[in-house]
Chains A and B, each alone.
Chain A
């Protein structure tokens, strides 16, 4: 009996010691838990619901539904480049006559087809079960989604680049995920946050993406959202080339050091 208990203790001790060596990961987990709790607290508050009505003139259900449906797009984009850097697959592809851009786009296309299916299912459930009323501006939706995905692929390239070099936890992806849930305009409008925190929302592309996409699905026209769309486009123009440059630089560094397949 005692022998078995002792064994259980050593299993736990082994895992605890191993876990404690992943310091970045521990910090990320703590942050995620704290910010996750805050996000849900704001989600359930009356202020959120009233704010949604005032700012978007739509029901809270419609607001949440669009937020959840399109957040899957962003999540896919955010982890996209990391998924392609499986070191072994990466080596096999890099020795083939295939351009890096083709590799990234090719590796991501299925994820987006799947995510589009998920969005359609979310919206269909909203429309047919919860009576959500949608009036879709197709061109506007395509433009906003394309810009949102591009910005997140930019973030993803930064995260993947850091991961290729450090071989450890990717703090960029973790930070963006936390920022999206709390400041990204996914579950509640950032206007309900204290002014200091609201400022963070306005420098994130997520805020503009969710603002624009909600309006494009509920009968607004492109000129009506143009100022916000322009900000989103400007952010993309900065993040995407920056992400590509960081990714390419990190890849070059790992190739130079011969550490591409070390994970």
Chain B
């Protein structure tokens, strides 16, 4: 039976050894330290999923990508790409994968034009000769470079280079795509184009994408599922909304009210379900207005607050309910782990 997972890691482990020199070792000696880049990682990414991998610097994102694309052998465990073992079936894995490295433009030939560069990569990725030209133009069009196909690569802007890297990744039409920080260093428009393109590709073609990024909102925007990696371990893995829910301990609401006294605030504090009330200093408040941040045990307590304000004849000017962002979830979850 074929697995429903496009990517699966099984106890995947990678440790790097590095020699360090410090005040303990002295000038002539060096101490060997081990760093667990990927620590017994078990991860499943279903076919057709756009999976975002978030993690702070040094979390192991690039190491994981390099292991999945067979560039880096694991110390223990293994991974399956499209059902093929990265250790035992490397050629099949390579045929199933398209990989974009974080600095993807390095493998291109600067004195060749975009088309000729892709022609070379089409050959080494076994794109059939009779379909090669058509496929190159197809991917160039997909990434919006069809009008610059015959310009020299060295004349391409940063965004164009990254788009060509993306075109190269898509060239063999692989079912699984690994994108390692595809928008790093790009301007806002280029980043958005790439995000839209990736999202569109997944939706239209059903490809599986592993998308690593530093940008939390980017992952929240396009990924169907997100894994948070810290020190080589997945510390949380769920949909963006479910991740936000995980850190949601209490409800936060913001009120702007008129003519409220300190006694009334204290009275309000004693209402059932209210954890805390703090005054906020928001810009644009009138002299008779106050901003209040109210922590509630649950959203069910909201009507009692409104009843209290009505009874006390306190005018409610504005009301805002605060939702945790994925950034809050990321910070909280990485702190907890």
Contacts and interface: CB of A to CB of B under 8 A. Distances in A.
Interface of A: 88-89, 91-98, 252, 255-258, 260
B172 to A, nearest CB: 8
Contacts of B95: 97
Determine which residue in B70, B72, B95, B121 has the highest number of CB atoms from chain A within 10 A of its CB, and name it. Answer: B72
Given A89-B107, A258-B63, A258-B66, A95 B126 contact: no
19 contacts: A88-B103, A89-B106, A91-B106, A92-B101, A92-B106, A92-B107, A95-B69, A95-B94, A95-B97, A96-B125, A97-B91, A97-B94, A97-B125, A252-B73, A255-B71, A255-B73, A256-B72, A257-B16, A258-B16
Contacts of B69: 95
Interface string B91-115: 1001101010101001100000000
Query: Does more than half of chain B's interface fall in helix, strand or loop, or is it mixed?
Result: mixed
B20 interface: no
A97 B101 CA distance: 17
Determine which residue in A89, A91, A96, A252 has the highest number of CB atoms from chain B within 10 A of its CB, and name it. Answer: A96
B124 interface: yes
A27 B74 CA distance: 38
A259 B132 CA distance: 33
A255 B107 contact: no
B107 A97 contact: no
Query: Does more than half of chain A's interface fall in helix, strand or loop, or is it mixed?
Result: helix
A92 B124 CA distance: 10
Interface of B: 14, 16-17, 37, 63, 66, 69-73, 91, 94-95, 97, 99, 101, 103, 106-107, 121, 124-126
A57 B99 CA distance: 60
A256 B125 contact: no
Nearest to B90: A97
Contact of B72 (A88, A93, A258): A258
Q: Which 5 interchain pairs have the tightest Cβ spacing? A: A92-B107, A88-B106, A97-B94, A96-B124, A98-B124
B154 to A, nearest CB: 15
Nearest to B94: A97
Contacts of A92: 101, 106-107, 121
Determine which residue in B71, B95, B101, B126 has the highest number of CB atoms from chain A within 10 A of its CB, and name it. Answer: B71
Given A91-B107, A255-B73, A258-B16, 18 more contacts: A88-B107, A91-B71, A92-B107, A93-B124, A94-B70, A94-B71, A95-B70, A95-B71, A95-B97, A96-B125, A97-B95, A97-B125, A97-B126, A252-B73, A256-B73, A257-B16, A258-B66, A260-B71
A250 to B, nearest CB: 14
Nearest to A97: B94
A255 B106 CA distance: 18
Nearest to B98: A95
Nearest to A252: B73
Nearest to B74: A256
A95 B72 contact: no
Nearest to B165: A92
Contact of A95 (B14, B37, B73, B99): B99
A140 B124 CA distance: 34
B72 A96 contact: no
Nearest to A259: B16
Contacts of A98: 124
A256 B67 CA distance: 10
Contacts of A94: 70-71
